[in-house]
């Protein structure tokens, strides 16, 4: 096995030979979702990207300690430390406790990720469960002189930090540029400079989520949780920090500054970022009506989709692009991906009926070497797929008796295919959820049980039944006097 893995380090903007720092395990931290809405492609891409990295590192024989957080407090509507907390806002609108919102969407996120065969991280810490660690970090930064307190809030002193360290080294920004581009906003007079960011915010009395601290009853700044939780579980420094490119600034830039200010040195050795997702060439946005959730992809229930697409199609399509390239989703592109996926899976089935001889037309050792070269080259999946589809053509020719393979090579072909397609790329054959085979009476019976659950206010069961049926291609609609359903796909 060729273990010569090179990854692109966003900090140095170069491909580097990956060498784990702490030999007992590779520390991998990925920024997870802020749980206030259904998961969409912006969640799927980093999840699939770092799932691929996690799987590949394990395949290479590394033990990986994989941490992905859940943000359930502190993520405000605006990057300028203004606006409402996203989860608290949703809770206020829906008249629920914020933790009910966080729990509901964390479960829904997990369900979607399981559907896409994204492996769960070993540790999934929540910001609200690590307030003490975050407060300790604020104290340390204050002690070291890189933060100041104003009216119960604590802000990071970017100018002071920048005099000794390089603020902007990850995103390539500099402080003059920031000064020119950040406007003084209403209510920000507390900050020395508009580009300073909050480590701790004093909460207004009506703010639902707040904790006592030395400075005020309040809540931690969003950037702080990842600095505190990554080092809490992975030590300092640790190997790889991942996330979407949209997090480079300010989130990850602030993380670097916080860790350096608190501990005298950066926490992260390799930064990896996946590129962004567009739909029909446009950025996703609620106002553009192109904001499609994963559940909508899986059900086809959106005006921009011609049909439903299975979770594996979304995964396959995502992996076909290199993680550092932009990725444009469209119904047409997904239809093509669906066909490609089917071809790939079909070839996997054909291997079992191939007959061997005593000659071969393909050196599987060469093929294997090419597969590893592609993966070792910063997880170059487009190249890997090109080689895989060469192999698919060979398998098809073998099946049609137009190519030869030695007897003893068949198990090797089986294992090569399984290792790269199933284990590393995480692609699997989905159960045939051809719902037309589900008898109507059975669907009716299940929906009666769901109706009873709803009457008993057991909404969790009711939602679970609705979501499971949706995975099977049955779309349930609640009506005034019960329900209606139809078969999609
Ligand atoms: Zn983060």
- Does residue 313 have a pLDDT over 60? yes
Q: Using the predicted structure, report yes or no on whether residue 185 has a pLDDT greater than 80.
A: no
Q: How far is the CA of 32 from the centre of ligand 1 (A)?
A: 7
pTM of the predicted model as reported, rounded to 2 decimal places: 0.87
pLDDT at 187 over 70: no
What would the pLDDT profile of 347-381 be if each residue is shown by its tens digit?
Answer: 999 999 999 999 999 999 999 999 999 999 999 99
Q: How far is the CA of 127 from the centre of ligand 1 (A)?
A: 10
pLDDT reading at 294 higher than 60 = yes
pLDDT in tens, 319-343: 999 999 999 999 999 999 999 999 9
- % the chain with pLDDT above 90: 77
pLDDT in tens, 435-461: 345 677 788 889 999 999 998 999 999
Would you say 297 and 40 are in contact if contact means Cβ atoms under 8 Å apart? Answer: no
Computed over every residue of the chain, the mean pLDDT equals 92
Q: Is 196 exposed, middle or buried (0-12, 13-18, 19+ CB in 10 A)?
A: buried
pLDDT(487) > 90? no
- Judge contact between 200 and 150, C-beta under 8 A: no
Q: Map out the domains of the chain as residue ranges.
A: 20-277, 292-424, 440-487
Cα(69) to centroid of ligand 1, in Å? Answer: 7
Distance from residue 18's CA to the centre of ligand 1 (Å): 22
Rounded to whole angstroms, the Cα distance separating 234 from 223 reads 17
Contact between residue 364 and residue 351 where contact means Cβ atoms under 8 Å apart: no
b/e 442-461 (16+ beta carbons within 10 angstroms → b): ebeebbeebeebbeeeeeee
CA of 176 to the centre of ligand 1 (A): 25
Q: What does the pLDDT read at residue 112?
A: 95
User: Quick one: pLDDT band at residue 431, thresholds 50, 70, 90?
Assistant: low
Counting residues of the chain whose pLDDT is more than 70, the rounded percentage is 97
Q: Ligand 1 centroid vs 232 CA: distance in angstroms?
A: 14
Q: Name the band, by pLDDT with cuts 50, 70 and 90, for residue 77.
A: confident
**How many angstroms separate the alpha carbon of residue 260 from the centre of ligand 1?**
16
Confidence check: pLDDT of 232 > 60: yes
Q: Ligand 1 mean position to 201 CA, how many Å?
A: 18
So what's the architecture of 292-424 in CATH? Up-down Bundle (1.20)
The confidence score (pLDDT) of residue 436 equals 45
HSE value, Cβ hemisphere, 13 Å, CA-based, for 23: 0
pLDDT for the residue 263 = 95
The pLDDT tens digits of the residues spanning 382-400 come to 999 999 999 999 999 999 9
CATH architecture of 20-277: 3-Layer(aba) Sandwich (3.40)
Task: Over range 36-55, report the average pLDDT.
Answer: 96
């Amino acid at each position: 096995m060729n273990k010569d893995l090179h990854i692109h380090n966003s900090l140095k903007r170069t491909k580097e030979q990956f060498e784990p720092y702490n030999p007992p395990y590779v520390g991998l931290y990925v920024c997870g979702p802020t749980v206030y809405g259904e998961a969409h492609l912006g969640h799927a891409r980093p999840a699939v990207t770092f799932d691929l990295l996690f799987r590949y590192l394990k395949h290479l024989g590394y033990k990986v300690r994989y941490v992905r957080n859940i943000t359930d407090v502190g993520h405000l509507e605006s990057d300028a430390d203004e606006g409402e907390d996203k989860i608290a806002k949703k809770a206020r609108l829906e008249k629920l406790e914020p933790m009910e919102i966080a729990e509901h969407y964390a479960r829904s996120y997990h369900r979607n990720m399981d559907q896409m065969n994204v492996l769960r991280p070993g540790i999934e810490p929540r910001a609200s469960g690590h307030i003490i660690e975050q407060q300790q970090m604020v104290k340390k930064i204050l002690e070291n002189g890189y933060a100041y307190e104003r009216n119960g809030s604590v802000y990071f002193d970017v100018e002071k930090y920048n005099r000794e360290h390089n603020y902007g080294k990850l995103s390539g920004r500099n402080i003059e540029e920031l000064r020119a581009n950040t406007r003084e906003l209403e209510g920000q007079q507390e900050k020395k400079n508009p580009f300073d960011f909050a480590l701790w915010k004093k909460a207004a009395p009506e703010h639902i989520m707040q904790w006592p601290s030395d400075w005020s009853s309040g809540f931690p700044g969003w950037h702080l949780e990842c600095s505190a939780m990554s080092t809490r579980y992975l030590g300092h420094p640790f190997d790889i920090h991942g996330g979407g490119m949209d997090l480079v600034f300010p989130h990850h830039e602030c993380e670097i500054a916080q860790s350096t200010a608190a501990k005298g040195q950066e926490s992260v050795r390799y930064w990896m970022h996946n590129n962004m997702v567009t739909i029909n060439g446009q950025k996703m946005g609620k106002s553009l009506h192109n904001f499609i959730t994963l559940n909508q992809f899986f059900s086809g229930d959106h005006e921009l989709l011609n049909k439903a697409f299975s979770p594996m199609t979304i995964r396959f399509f995502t992996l076909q692009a290199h993680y550092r390239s932009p990725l444009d989703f469209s119904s047409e592109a997904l239809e093509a991906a669906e066909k490609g996926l089917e071809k790939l899976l079909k070839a996997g089935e054909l291997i079992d009926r191939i007959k061997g001889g005593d000659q071969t037309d393909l050196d599987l050792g060469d093929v294997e070497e090419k597969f590893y070269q592609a993966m070792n080259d910063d997880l170059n999946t487009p190249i890997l797929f090109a080689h895989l589809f060469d192999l698919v053509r060979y398998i098809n020719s073998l099946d049609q008796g137009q190519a030869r393979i030695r007897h003893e090579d068949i198990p090797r072909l089986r294992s090569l295919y399984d290792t790269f397609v199933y284990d590393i790329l995480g692609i699997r054959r989905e159960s045939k959820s051809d719902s037309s085979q589900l008898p109507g009476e059975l669907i009716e019976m299940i929906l009666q049980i769901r109706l009873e659950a709803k009457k008993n206010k057991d909404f969790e069961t009711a939602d679970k039944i609705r979501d499971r049926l949706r995975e099977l291609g049955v779309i349930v609609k609640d009506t005034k006097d019960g329900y209606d359903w139809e078969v999609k796909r």
